[in-house]
Amino acid sequence: MKNTVTTLQEMKRKGEKISMLTCYDYTTACLMEDAGINAILIGDSLGMTMMGYSDTLPVTVDDIIHHCASVSRGLKDTFLVADMPFMSYQTSVYDAVKNAGRLVKEGHAQAVKLEGGASVCEQIQAIVNADIPVVAHIGLTPQSINAFGGFKVQGKNVERAIQIVEDAKAVEAAGAFMVTLECVPEELATLISKELTIPTIGIGAGAGCDGQVLVYQDMLGMFSGFKPKFVKHYANIGEEMKNAFKAYDAEVKAKTFPAAEHNFAIDADVMKAVKA
């Protein structure tokens, strides 16, 4: 079944949960498509996972387009959302529409996602008016890291909790067709999911959301060291990869790879002529 804005919203109405993962390359996209994941996000988290930056702020529209177009070539039924990076929509409504358009035209995204609540509703409205579906993103918004003073759970006090509920209602009213809730206490995210008619996609926001999203390197266990509380490792791919790299290194050095079955043959008389 092809996933669209309509089918994703229909899933919420039927009480079916939406699965979403980040993805940044063609090979992984093909695997997620085969697995039946509903939606893929070209997250600006690619700045950290693929480019090694310490936050998402340096990511450009061109970076997102490069990865989004690559992923799009591996997809058939999976819905494709592209993140709008830092300063591609905050600067003006014009910039927001222009850059959203580039993500669709050059990146082949089917929707764009941007961070912020009431403060970006003008941008959401204008992008939706250009017939580009918008996913909003509220709660912990990593592009605001300097304003927040770090990555922390959002909505633990009354003032901020009320603000997040108001942001959720504002982005729905502005025309967003879905909203990401990041690092929001479970009960608050559940309340928001009940209040809104559009689907909520949680990351660190509990099972009451209408869907879930994870960064794929996190859920595959590709990073050793820090594991955020909300991440579950579904595999230990990092160890698997490292073991394969070590085995290859050892075989190259032991001259056991390549073996006879990996080699191409040549006719004896051709070789004789070459040597002559």
- Exactly one of 132, 135, 215, 219 binds ligand KIV (CB under 6 A); that residue is 215
What is the spatial distance between Cα 71 and Cα 46, in angstroms, rounded to a whole number? 13
- Exactly one of 28, 38, 45, 190 binds ligand KIV (CB under 6 A); that residue is 45
Q: Binding to ligand KIV by residue 83, rule CB under 6 A?
A: yes
Q: Which does 180 bind (CB under 5 to 8 A by kind): Na ion, ligand KIV, none?
A: ligand KIV
What is the spatial distance between Cα 164 and Cα 147, in angstroms, rounded to a whole number? 16
Q: Is the CB of 71 or the CB of 203 nearer to ligand KIV?
A: 203
Q: Binding to Na ion by residue 83, rule CB under 5 A?
A: yes
Q: Binding to Na ion by residue 210, rule CB under 5 A?
A: no
Whether 166 is a known active-site residue: answer no
| Residue 257 DSSP label | S
Q: Is the CB of 83 or the CB of 210 nearer to ligand KIV?
A: 83
Q: Binding to ligand KIV by residue 172, rule CB under 6 A?
A: no
Query: 55, exposed or middle or buried, with CB in 10 Å at 0-12, 13-18, 19+?
Result: middle
Strand 18-22 relative to strand 39-42, pairing: parallel
Q: Binding to ligand KIV by residue 180, rule CB under 6 A?
A: yes
Q: Binding to ligand KIV by residue 203, rule CB under 6 A?
A: yes
| Residue 17 DSSP label | P
Per the structure block, which two tokens stand in for 47? 């700045």
Range 5-64, binding Na ion (CB under 5 A): 43-44
Q: Binding to ligand KIV by residue 210, rule CB under 6 A?
A: no
Q: Binding to ligand KIV by residue 22, rule CB under 6 A?
A: yes
The continuous run of DSSP H or E covering 161 comes out as helix 158-174
The backbone region for 52, taken as left when phi is positive above 0, alpha when psi lies in -120 to 50, beta otherwise, is: left
Number of residues that bind Na ion (CB under 5 A): 3
With contacts defined by CB under 6 A, name the span among 37-45, 125-133, 163-171, 190-198 that binds ligand KIV.
37-45
The catalytic residue among 16, 122, 182, 251 is 182
Shortest CB 266 distance to ligand KIV, Å:
50
Amino acid at 197: T
What is the spatial distance between Cα 56 and Cα 49, in angstroms, rounded to a whole number? 10
Per the structure block, which two tokens stand in for 103? 């993500």
The backbone region for 133, taken as left when phi is positive above 0, alpha when psi lies in -120 to 50, beta otherwise, is: beta
Q: How far is CA 178 from the centre of its chain?
A: 14
With contacts defined by CB under 6 A, name the span among 38-46, 120-128, 251-259, 262-270 that binds ligand KIV.
38-46
Please answer whether residues 232 and 219 qualify as being in contact, where contact means their C-beta atoms are separated by less than 8 angstroms: yes
With contacts defined by CB under 5 A, name the span among 17-25, 83-91, 165-173, 241-249 that binds Na ion.
83-91
Q: Which residues are catalytic?
A: 182
Instruction: Report the interface residues with ligand KIV, using CB under 6 A.
Output: 22, 41, 43-45, 83, 137, 180, 182, 203, 213, 215
